[in-house]
């Protein structure tokens, strides 16, 4: 399970919000990667880093590895989010 803190004004970087002008929230990028890369080796799920960086989210390498593993295996990934 991962855990991040995010400022309230940047919540749309993580979660889809139809009222937001933010381009591609991480939630959407993760879902698209999960659909396209399920069953692939963890090392091939590298676009997670770019999606996280683009969304300005502070995921650690360990968090991204856990997410890639969840995508690879098709298992759920739990993310605890603290909103400041």
SS3 55: coil
Q: What is the pTM of this model?
A: 0.81
SS3 43: helix
Per-residue model confidence as pLDDT tens digits over 66-79:
999 999 999 999 99
Q: What was the pLDDT predicted at 67?
A: 93
> What six digits make up the tokens of 11?
């919540």
Per-residue model confidence as pLDDT tens digits over 13-72:
898 887 888 878 999 889 998 999 999 999 888 788 888 898 888 888 899 999 999 999
User: Into how many domains does the chain fold?
Assistant: 1
Q: What was the pLDDT predicted at 56?
A: 86
């Amino acid at each position: 399970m991962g855990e991040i803190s995010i400022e309230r004004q940047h919540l749309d970087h993580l979660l889809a919000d139809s009222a937001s002008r933010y381009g591609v929230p991480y939630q959407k990028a993760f879902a698209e990667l999960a659909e396209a890369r399920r069953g692939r080796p963890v090392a091939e799920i590298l676009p997670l880093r770019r999606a996280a960086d683009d969304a300005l989210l502070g995921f650690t390498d360990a968090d991204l590895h856990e997410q890639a593993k969840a995508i690879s295996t098709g298992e759920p990934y739990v993310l605890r989010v603290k909103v400041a």
